[in-house]
A and B are shown apart, each in its own frame.
Chain A
C-alpha cells in the first residue's frame, strides 16, 4: 500500500486514474477516451443525463465490464480487472441502486458474507465485529436486525459497511439518493464527509444538481460518453450553470404554469383511515394539479392503492367522479375515467417481455374490442400515431418494453393512459430517474392534461411539486398535515417542518 495522501489541496498522486477509457456496445460508444482522476479525501460527483455513460464508466471501474481501450491506474500501477472481485481486492467497491443484500439474513451476516473468518460462526461475535465497524464510522445500525426490517437508508449503510469491511478506498455510489428520504439523504452526505475525512475517496453518480452543489468537492460532467469538463466545486456558481454544462444548452428548469379555472370536482376523499392512513380528507377538481408531498413511507402508497382501486378503503369514504368507491370499481370504464401512472414503470405499468402494441393494449384493450375479438390492425395504427405524438423512441411498435429507456417508457405509459381520456390522473413519482429533457416533456404533458382532468401528483421531489401544483398537501404518518395553494409563500416555506410532523407555531417534537 502506498502511503495515504494527506487530505490537502496539493495535487498529489491520485488514488485511481482512468486513462483514455473507451467502451463500445455494438455501434454505440458508451464511453469515449475518458480521463479521470480520483483523489483520496474528496467527493467526486459524476454528473450527466441518462445515457451519458456514467454507469458504464463505473461498471468498468468496479470490474464488471472491461474497457475496449485505455487503462486503469491504481496508485500509479496499471490494473486490469476481470471481475468485481478483483476490483474489490484493489480497494474499489460499489454501492448499486438495487442493494445487494439478502433480506432474510441479519446485518452482520450480510456484511461478513464471504469474509466470515472461521468455519464455525458465532452470531454474537459477528455482530460485535460489525457493531465496532459501524461505531467507528458513525453509521447507526443494529447488527442483529434482519435486513428485511430496515429502511432504505439503513440498507444503504449496510452496503457501506460491506465495503468498509473489505478495506475499500474508493466507494462508488450509483444514484444513492434515489431511494432515500430527505433526512436519510442528509445522513448519507454526513457519512460521505466522514469517509473523506478518513482519506477514502467517494464517487457518486447523480443527475440531481442540488446534490452536487451540496456535497461534491469535484464535479466531472459526462455528455454522450465523454467527460466534457472536470472542475472543482468552487468554480460552480449555480444549478443553472451546472445544468447548462450537463445538457450542453440552456435548459428551462421552470415550466410555464398558467392557472386554469377549476372545473367540477372529480375526486373526494373523506376521513379515509386504515392500512397506515389516518383520517385523510382531500378533494380534487378538474383543471388543477394537487401535489401530495411527504417523506416516502408516510401513507402515500396506501392512499394511491385505494384511489387506484387496488385496495378497498377500510374506513371513510371515497367518491370518484361522484360515485362511491365500490360502485366505481365494480365495472370501471376504460375511458373517461381514472388512470394511474405508477412509480414502477417496468414491471407494474408495463410488461417487459411484451411489445409496444401489447403494452398499449394492456389498459386500452376494451377500446379495441369488437365483441369478444380484438382489432389488432387498428391497435397498431393507433400505436404508431401515439408513439409519434408522444415522441417515444424507437418508433417501432414491435419493440419490446425492456428495450426502451426509462424516459421513453414513461412517455409510452403517458401516451397510453392519456389515450383513455382520463378525468382523474394519479401520477406517482412521474419523473423519478428521468433526465432533464424527459422530465420537461412529462411535466408539460401533465400540465396540459389539466384541461380535461384533475391530477393527483404524488411526489417526493419538492421542486417538482412546486413547479406543477396548484395546491399542495403535505403527508406525515398517514395524515394530511395541511393543504394550501402552491402560491402561498408563507405556507410553502413551512413545508419542510410539516413533512417532519411539525406544525407552524409548534416547537420541534
Chain B
C-alpha cells in the first residue's frame, strides 16, 4: 500500500513499545476532540475540561482513584483469561453477580461485626462471580460452545438477575418504590482511609496486582498459563492441565470482577441498586488490551481510563456532552491501539527494497 510493503520484524523495535501507545492515545483523543469541534465545542476547552475534571483538584484525583479500583480489578481478571486465549467478555456480569453475592452476605447477617462480616462478603462475592464465570468455561470445555457469546449473554442475564432482586425480593419496603435494598449495616461497609474519601479497597488492589504479577512470572502454574496461551496443542503435548487452567483463570476473573462489584456496592453506594452497573466490565477489556495483558501496566491503564470517565463527567456539566461520549473515546482508543500494535510486529519499507525475511529453505 502506498508504495510501501510490510515486513515482519525479526526483533522487537526498541522505540516501538514506548512510542506506539502514546501515539495511539493521542490519535484517539484527537479524533474525539474533532468530533467535539464538529458539534461546535472548542477542542482546547474540551480537553481542559476533561483534564481538570480528572486531575484538577485533590477531590477530582480522589474520584479518579475511586473509579480506578473496579476497572482495575475487572481488567486484571479479563487479562488473565485473554492470556490463555479464552475470550471472556463477561466481566460485567461477573461484577453484577459479585455485587449480589456480597449483598446477600450483608443482608443475611447484618448483626455481625465488620471483621467477620466483610471477609464473609468478600467470600460471597468471589464465590458468586467465580461460579457465574464457570458456566461459560464449562460450556466451552465440555461442548466447545463459543465463550464470547455465552459470556456476553451471561452479562445481560446477570444484570437482569440483579434488577429482579432489587425490584422484587430484596426491595427495601421503605424505599418508596425505588429499586434498591435497605442500607447496609455499618459492619458491611468497607471503611474509608481516614482523612480521605478513599477506602481500603484501593490498597487491596495494589496488593493483588503485585501478587498476580509474581504468580504469572515466577510460579510454575503461571508458566503453565503463559505456555497454554501460546498454543493448546503444545500445552496438551507438555501435559499441561489445560482444562483446569481455563477453569482456574475464569474463576479468578469471576472472583476479581465480583470483588469489584462488591467494593462498588459496599464502599460506593452502601446498598445494592441498579446504578452499581456502570459498564466497568467493558472498560476493563479496553484496559487489558492497552496494557497488553501485563498486570502492572494494567494499573496504569486503569487509572487513565478512570480519569477519562471522571473527565467526561465533568464535560457533561461544562458542555452538556452526552455520557456516551466516554464510550466513543474508549472505542476509539482501543481501535487506535490495535492498529498501532501493527508497528510493533511489522516495519514498513519502500516496496522495492530488499527484504530481511528469514531464509525459507
Cβ of A431 to closest chain B Cβ, rounded Å:
17
> Which of B61-69, B119-127, B128-136, B227-235 is near enough to bind chain A?
B227-235
B223 touches A358 (CB 8 A): yes
Chain B contacts for A397, CB-based, 8 A: none
Most chain B CB atoms below 10 A, which of A50, A350, A351: A351
Are B234 and A349 neighbours in the complex by a CB distance under 8 Å?
A: yes
Which residue from A51, A309, A310, A374 sits with its C-beta under 8 Å from B223? Answer: A374
Known: A55-B361, A56-B360, A373-B219. A68 touches B230 (CB 8 A): no
Partner of B238, one of A30, A55, A362: A362
Q: A66-B352, A342-B237, A362-B238 are in contact. Are A25 and B224 (CB under 8 A)?
A: no
A361 at the interface (CB under 8 A from B): yes
Interface membership of B26, Cβ < 8 A: no
**Contact, CB under 8 Å: A59 / B360:** yes
B57 contacts the other chain (CB 8 A):
no
Instruction: Assess whether B10 is interfacial by the CB under 8 Å rule.
Output: yes
Residues of A within 8 A of B220 (CB): 365-366, 369, 372-374
**Residue in contact with B361 in the complex, picked from A26, A56, A350, CB distance below 8 Å:** A56
Bound-state Cα–Cα, A53 to B357, Å:
13
- Does B176 sit within 8 A of A, measured CB to CB? no
Q: Is A54 an interface residue (CB 8 A)?
A: yes
Question: Does chain B have a CB within 8 A of A196?
Answer: no
Of the listed residues B218, B222, B236, B359, the one surrounded by the most CB atoms of chain A closer than 10 A to its CB is B359
Residues in chain B near residue A361, CB distance under 8 A: 223, 227
Name the A residues within 8 Å of B222 (CB-CB): 374
- Would you call B142 an interface residue if the criterion is a C-beta within 8 Å of the partner chain's C-beta atoms? no
- Which residue from B226, B238, B239, B358 sits with its C-beta under 8 Å from A25? B358
A307-326 contacts to B (CB < 8 Å) = 309-310
Distance A65 CA – B238 CA, assembled complex (angstroms): 37
Known: A66-B352, A365-B220, A374-B218. A403 touches B358 (CB 8 A): yes
Please provide the chain A residues from 39 to 67 with a CB less than 8 Å away from any CB of chain B in the complex. 50-56, 59, 65-66
Q: How many residues of B contact A (CB 8 A)?
A: 27
- Measured CB to CB, the nearest residue on chain B to A362 is B238
A26-B352 in contact (CB<8A): no
Which one of B237, B239, B358 contacts A348 once the chains associate, using CB atoms below 8 Å?
A: B237
Residues of A within 8 A of B239 (CB): 309, 332, 363
Contact A354 B230 (CB under 8 A): yes
The reply to whether the CB of A297 lies closer than 8 angstroms to some CB of chain B is no
A304 to B24: give the CA distance in the assembly, Å: 49
| A30 and B361 in contact, given A310-B237, A362-B234 (Cβ under 8 angstroms) | yes
Please name all residues of chain B whose beta carbon is closer than 8 Å to the beta carbon of A173 when the two chains form the complex.
none
Whether A50 lies near B233 (C-beta < 8 A) is no
User: Which residues of A sit under 8 angstroms from B237, Cβ to Cβ?
Assistant: 310, 340, 342, 348-349, 362
Contacts of A26 in B (CB 8 A): 356
A56 contacts B223, CB within 8 Å? no
> In the complex the two chains form, is B219's CB within 8 Å of A372's CB?
yes
> A343 to chain B: closest CB distance in Å?
12
Mask, B334-360, CB within 8 Å of A = 1, is 000000000000000000101111111
Query: Does B359 lie within 8 Å of A65, measured CB to CB?
Result: no
Binary interface profile of B, 150-162, with partner A (CB < 8 Å = 1, else 0)? 0000000000000
**Total residue contacts A-B, CB cutoff 8 A:** 85
**Is there a chain B Cβ closer than 8 Å to A353's Cβ?**
yes
Q: Report if A310-B236 is in contact (Cβ < 8 Å); known contacts: A26-B356, A365-B224, A374-B223.
A: yes
Question: B219 to chain A: which residues have CB within 8 Å?
Answer: 372-374
A347 lies within 8 A of chain B by Cβ = yes
Give Cα distance in the complex from A116 to B58, angstroms: 69
Asked if A493 is at the interface of the complex by the 8 Å CB criterion, the answer is: no
**Chain B residue with minimal CB distance to A364?**
B238
Q: Which of A30, A54, A348, A373 contacts B234 (CB 8 A)?
A: A348
Interface: A24 (CB within 8 A): yes
Closest to A342 in B: B237
- B148: chain A residues within 8 A (beta carbon): none
C-alpha spacing A348/B354, complex, angstroms: 33
Asked whether any CB of chain A lies closer than 8 Å to the CB of B139, the reply is no
> Complex Cα distance A372/B211, Å?
14
Q: Any chain B CB within 8 A of the CB of A10?
A: no
| Interchain nearest-CB distance for A58 vs B (Å) | 9
Which B residues lie within 8 Å of A261 (CB)? none
User: Residues 353-385 of chain A: 1 if any B CB is under 8 Å from the residue's CB, otherwise 0?
Assistant: 110001001110110010011101000000000
**Contact, CB under 8 Å: B223 / A365:** yes
A369 to B360, CA, bound (A): 37
The answer, yes or no, to whether A28 is at the interface (CB within 8 Å) is yes
Q: Which of A388-410 contact B (CB under 8 A)?
A: 403
Cβ of B355 and Cβ of A65 under 8 Å apart? yes
- The distance in angstroms between the C-alpha atoms of A361 and B228, with both chains bound, is 13
- Closest-CB distance, B7 to chain A (whole angstroms): 11
CA A348 – CA B230 in complex, angstroms? 11
CA distance A365 to B221 in the complex (A): 10
Task: Kindly list chain B residues whose C-beta atoms are within 8 Å of the C-beta of A350.
Answer: 234
- Cα of A376 to Cα of B216 in the assembled complex, Å: 13
Which A residues are CB-close (under 8 A) to B357?
25, 65
Q: What's the nearest-Cβ distance from chain B to residue A340, in Å?
A: 7
CA–CA, A109 and B10, complex, Å = 37
12 A-B pairs with CB atoms under 8 Å apart are A23-B354, A25-B359, A51-B361, A56-B359, A349-B234, A350-B234, A351-B227, A358-B223, A362-B237, A362-B238, A363-B238, A374-B218
**Top 7 nearest A-B pairs by Cβ distance?**
A55-B361, A351-B230, A362-B238, A55-B360, A372-B219, A26-B356, A369-B220
Assuming A310-B236, A373-B218, A374-B219, what are 20 further A-B pairs, CB within 8 angstroms?
A25-B355, A25-B359, A28-B359, A55-B360, A65-B357, A66-B352, A68-B354, A347-B234, A361-B227, A362-B234, A362-B237, A362-B238, A366-B220, A369-B220, A372-B220, A372-B221, A373-B219, A374-B222, A376-B218, A403-B10
